[in-house]
Amino acid sequence: FPRNPMIRWGYVATKFAQVLGSLFYAYYIFVRLCIPQFRNSSQETFNLRGLVLCIFNSILPGVLILFLVFFAFLHCWLNAFAEMLRFADRMFYK
């Protein structure tokens, strides 16, 4: 495999900071959008209308968290380790 001659530690730190920021943002989404929705539904009696509303109100936060997981793992985490291992194929198109 082709290798880069040196590791850019600033780039690695930036990617790990982005992973940490994504985790904090996912936590914020859970606390502000998901948990209150399910906390309110647990105090009511079960009905189909409440279940459907709870599901529909959780779709947007779920999609946001899904995008954050893809960004944090597939982009930031794997690029940070590719840089630390000096893997040069990530610059294939340059």
Q: What percent of the chain has pLDDT over 90?
A: 49
Evaluated on CA atoms 70, 75, 80, 82, the torsion sign reads positive
30: how many CB neighbours lie within 10 A of its CB? 12
Q: Give the residue from 28, 18, 25 showing the smallest Cα distance to 80.
A: 18
DSSP structural state of residue 94: -
Reported as a pLDDT band with limits 50, 70 and 90, residue 94 is low
Query: What digits encode the pLDDT tens for the residues 34-54?
Result: 888 878 776 778 888 888 888
**Average of pLDDT values for 5-26?**
94
Q: Count up the domains in the chain and report the number.
A: 1
Identify whether 20 is part of a domain.
Answer: yes
Reduced to 3 states (helix: H, G, I; strand: E, B; else coil), residue 3 is strand
Yes or no: say if 85 and 7 are a contact pair by the CB < 8 Å rule: no
Q: Which two tokens stand for residue 80?
A: 């940070």
Nearest to 74 by CA among 58, 90, 54: 90
Is residue 8 a part of any domain in this protein? yes
Q: What are phi and psi of 93, to 5 degrees?
A: -85, 0
pLDDT digits (tens, 9 = 90+) for 62-90: 999 999 999 999 999 999 998 898 887 76
DSSP tag of 1: -
User: Confidence band (pLDDT; 50, 70, 90) for 55?
Assistant: confident
Predicted pLDDT of residue 35 = 86
pTM attached to this predicted model: 0.79
Domain that holds residue 13: 1-48
